[in-house]
Chain A
């Protein structure tokens, strides 16, 4: 158990809908990262927050957005869902923001868009 929690574990929804994925980092970690894992693209970095502020953006679609709240939990919002958005979404956390900090991953949320 990494100490990172994600809810829900599974989510099934229809195209065009909007969903929110939630992540609670390990106690004491200030940085949260979101990754998407799909069969064709592999593991791809989406976005990073550090202490409530956006720190880095990866291959995140405009239909997707995220935020980190004062209690440091984070939410990833996915809207106008398409079949291709079906994937495993992972959250990771680390103490700091730079390259020297290990990232610990949550168990993931499996999103199925039908």
Chain B
């Protein structure tokens, strides 16, 4: 079945770039998402990419997609302490009108001042 994997932790210094990686198994995935969860809060949609794209940039966020290796990454430029959160990669399940998301376990990003 579908599976999404992420490393669990990432620690960076304020001002550096952060790169969060994700691999997925469903070759038919056409939409891939990044969500952010701050402590005690819900999931905030950060960005998404269609599988016919290789890259998408949105202000400080850059998403790279390598379809051959089924690898997705999220780069946060000039990381700030406010970026400390858990970041989830998600793919849409295969199948017609179904739209539920398959999530990775999340990467906890810690930003040190």
Interface size class of B (residues with CB under 8 A): 20 to 34
**How far apart are the CA atoms of A92 and B32 in the complex, in Å?**
16
Interface size class of A (residues with CB under 8 A): 20 to 34
Cβ of A69 under 8 Å from chain B: no
Residue from the list A2, A43, A99, A100 in contact with B88, Cβ < 8 A: A43
B42 contacts A2, CB within 8 Å? Answer: yes
A94 contacts B99, CB within 8 Å? Answer: yes
B48 contacts A102, CB within 8 Å? Answer: yes
Residue from the list A4, A33, A106 in contact with B100, Cβ < 8 A: A33
Within 8 A of B (CB), among A11-50: 31, 33, 35, 42-45, 48, 50
**How far apart are the CA atoms of A35 and B35 in the complex, in Å?**
14
Contact with A along B82-113 (1 / 0, CB 8 A): 00000010001101111111111110000000
A103 contacts B101, CB within 8 Å? Answer: yes
Name 15 interchain pairs, CB-CB below 8 A, sorted by A: A33-B99, A43-B103, A45-B101, A48-B100, A55-B99, A56-B99, A97-B97, A97-B99, A98-B98, A98-B99, A99-B99, A104-B45, A105-B42, A105-B43, A107-B41
